[in-house]
Structure 1
Amino acid sequence: MTLHIQTPLIESRPLSLAAGRTLWLKLEALQPSGSFKLRGVGHACEVHHARGARHFVSSSGGNAGLAVAYAGRKLGVPVTVVVPETTSTRAIELLKLEDAQVVVKGSSWQEANQHAQGLLGAGDAFVHPFDDPLLWTGHASMIDEVAQAGLKPDAVVLSVGGGGLLSGVVEGLKRNGWHDVPVLAVETDGAASLHAAIAAGHPVELPAITSVATSLGAKRVADQALACAQNHPLHSERITDHAALQACERFLHDHRILVEPACGAALALAYAPERLAQYNNVLMIVCGGATATLEQIRDWLAA
């Protein structure tokens, strides 16, 4: 038994019509913690637990922290999640629902992460939100499920924040022999750390995150994410916050699932069909986002 579930893989009629080609959805928003993060985080927590960890510590204002909290509750291991001051009340409520101890520290994830590292003691395991080979191996399982279903897509569309999902999907493509399947890596303007790293040829730190898609808000992408861009067919795509938010609203209407702007970034390509013109069968990773609210999305759209 794994802590994550096997999620549905469905052909989306509304998105296929919008894009003018067949679009398949891997519905990671339906994981128990609300996002794909549970695959990698669950795997990491199970490994740490087997090695004797008695306490999990994480730094995340959202989906990774929720996944650690869920995993800890299921494994019977106490969890501390350090979140930055920018974390929404909704996210903190959800963390507490999973019995996590929440510590609010710092104005950014980097500061929260530094504080979390200082809390580590004997018997504690630190669970990184995105930069850990254990996470990538866990995330890769979603591609295993697609392969088992008999679908080999012409391309995979996903959102990129710190690069954990990208690293896991590329690992999954490679271990299923799909070295030729390109990845369309989507970021919002104002959170495009992968795009900046590709342009520079090495990871660079953005001066600030100015996108509403805060789950994509890693100022510096993981080294492994850039390695994926350099060693696997990959196209870096950027879209506006407005397009991501509109995609969230349209996807809610089309599939009755509410996702956060970070996920809307990837979905936006379905509603901009020229971005997918060279592919017939496209797999979109619906990564989810438990902290999204329709009220917040509409407030951002109105701003």
Structure 2
Amino acid sequence: MSAISLADVYRARQRIEGRVCRTPLVQSPALSRIAGVPVHLKLETVQPTGSFKLRGATNALAQLVEEGATRVVTASTGNHGRAVAHAARALGMEAAVCMSSLVPKNKVDAVAALGARVVIAGKSQDDAQIEALRLVREEGFAFVPPFDDARVIAGQATIGLEILEALPDVATILVPLSGGGLFSGVAFAAKHINRDVQTIGVTMERGAAMHASLAAGKPVLVDELETLADSLGGGIGLDNRHTFAMTRELIDRVVLLDEASIARGIVHAYREERLVVEGAAAVGMSAVLDGALHDARGPLVIVVSGCNIDIETHRRIIGAS
């Protein structure tokens, strides 16, 4: 049974209206030529925090405020933490964000700049979550999970609504796949409006926890490894309540990418689409460039999830191409 209903998604849209951007859907002539079908980019890069995460965080925190909460904590690979910090400041809440030492410095600094308490804990997303849960127990914070939460999933699902409203005949949607909050939300909304829409998850080869869990038929642990798609790192939780089941039900296939492919996506975004994107946001474009979608039906939409790449890393990747 799904963690959310379509009514939850529409309520989430009402709740976040005015705080989150309705993002543009733009056609990519270059990718359309390569794919042989019309390709559109859903640009979550224009959100105030630079990623889609603001949708789920704002929906969750707005509901917590309604319930009387004043302090929130989360564990994050960067973008969710920044979104929670932004939403908390807008709603007058205190925020703490726990991150591992693998989170890039630019993302840590961005969270701190929004006034949140930053806690660096361990070398994995799981370590960061353990610390966040300690703050819940010992200091009375309300916990906002980065993905495995019905309020967060409903917020991310508003992307699916926007895609179907802007392009009713969309046939295929490519979504970055990590913990499953973005994928399950977008796929849920899209398939509940048009059950024939194909939803494809795209992720990196290095430490793809959801892919490994789907293959095993249950949530499993994976080693968290350094990758250009750092926002897709981390486990899905052995006690995963929502996103594993939703992703397993809604996903049509998974595309895995090596680091060179992700780098090509970043370069393509910059040179052909005039976009600065992080590795996790480049994976849909990388899949098209790799020819992994030669049989995909069009029109095809790629969710471009965020732009929060370390600028020196971006300069190095572009310079090496």
TM-score w.r.t. length of structure 2: 0.87
Q: Does 1:66 align with 2:58?
A: no
Q: Distance in 2 between matches of 1:7 and 1:73?
A: 22
Please tell me whether the aligned partners of residues 57 and 79 of structure 1 are also in contact (alpha carbons under 8 angstroms).
yes
Matched to 1:167, the amino acid is S
Task: Name the residue aligned to 1:149.
Answer: 166
Candidates 92, 105, 113, aligned match of 2:108: 92
Residue 233 of structure 1: how far off its partner (Å): 4.9
Q: Quote how far apart the aligned CAs of 1:216 are.
A: 1.0
Structure 2 CA distance for partners of 1:20 and 1:85, relative to 1, 3 Å: same
Separation (CA, whole Å) in 2 of partners of 1:259 and 1:223 = 30
Letter in 1 for 2:175: L
Give runs of aligned pairs for residues 189-200 of structure 1, distance below 5 A: 189-200=205-216
Counterparts of 2:161 and 2:198, CA distance in 1: 16
Corresponding residue for residue 278 of structure 1 = 296
Q: What's the counterpart of residue 36 of structure 1?
A: 52
Distance 1:80 1:294 in 2: 25
Q: How far apart, in 2, do the equivalents of 1:149 and 1:262 lie? A: 24
1:212 to 217, 228, 232: 228
Secondary structure class of the residue paired with 1:103: strand
C-alpha contact (below 8 Å) 2:267/2:317 kept by paired residues: no
1:195–1:89 CA distance, 2 compared to 1 (3 A): closer
Alignment partner of 1:245 is 2:263: yes
Shift of 1:75: 0.8
Equivalent in the alignment of 2:187: 170
Closer/same/farther in 2, CA of residues 250 and 46 from structure 1, 3 Å limit: same
Whether the 8 Å CA contact 1:146–1:152 is kept in 2: the answer is: no
Amino acid at match of 1:242: A
Name the count of aligned residue pairs.
Answer: 301
Higher deviation after alignment, 140-149 or 293-302: 293-302
Farther off after superposition, 137-146 or 82-91? 82-91
Q: For the Cα contact (< 8 Å) 1:15–1:271, is it kept in 2?
A: yes
Deviation at 1:147, TM superposition (A): 2.2
SS of alignment partner, residue 25 of structure 1: strand
Aligned residue for 2:51, secondary structure, equals: coil
Aligned partner (choices 47, 50, 55) of residue 71 of structure 2: 55
How far is the alpha carbon of 1:74 from its aligned partner?
0.9
> Are the aligned partners of 2:20 and 2:47 in contact in 1 as well (CA < 8 Å)?
yes
* Identity score, percent: 30
Kindly tell me: are residues 294 and 21 of structure 1, through their superposed partners in 2, closer, same or farther at Cα, counting changes over 3 Å? farther
Q: Is the 8 A contact 2:202 2:255 kept in 1?
A: yes
Residue of structure 1 in register with 2:145 after alignment: 128
From 288, 297, 300, the counterpart of 2:306: 288
The match for 1:232 is 250
**Structure 1 partner of 2:13:** none
Superposed displacement of residue 7, structure 1: 0.3
Give the aligned residue type for 2:196: D
Partner of 2:25 in structure 1? Answer: 9
SS at match of 1:269: helix
Tell me how far apart the structure 2 counterparts of residues 143 and 233 of structure 1 sit (CA, whole Å): 14
Q: Which moved more, 1:218-227 or 1:11-20?
A: 218-227
1:201 to 1:80, Cα distance in 2 relative to 1, 3 A? same
What code does the residue aligned with 1:219 have? G
**Structure 1 CA distance for aligned equivalents of residues 317 and 236 of structure 2:** 25
How far the C-alpha of 1:128 sits from its partner, in A, is 0.8
Q: How far 1:196 moved relative to its partner?
A: 1.5
Question: CA-to-partner distance for each residue in 1:123-158, whole Å, 9 max, x for gaps?
Answer: 632111111011111111111112222433111101
TM-score for the superposition, normalised by structure 1: 0.92
User: Which ranges of 4 or more aligned residues in structure 1 deviate by more than 6 Å?
Assistant: none
- Runs of 5+ unmatched residues, structure 2: 1-16
Secondary structure, in 3 states, of the residue corresponding to 1:220?
coil
* CA deviation profile, 1:6-54 (whole Å, cap 9, x unmatched): 0001111122123222001111111111111111111001111111111
Specify the alignment match of 1:114 in structure 2: 130
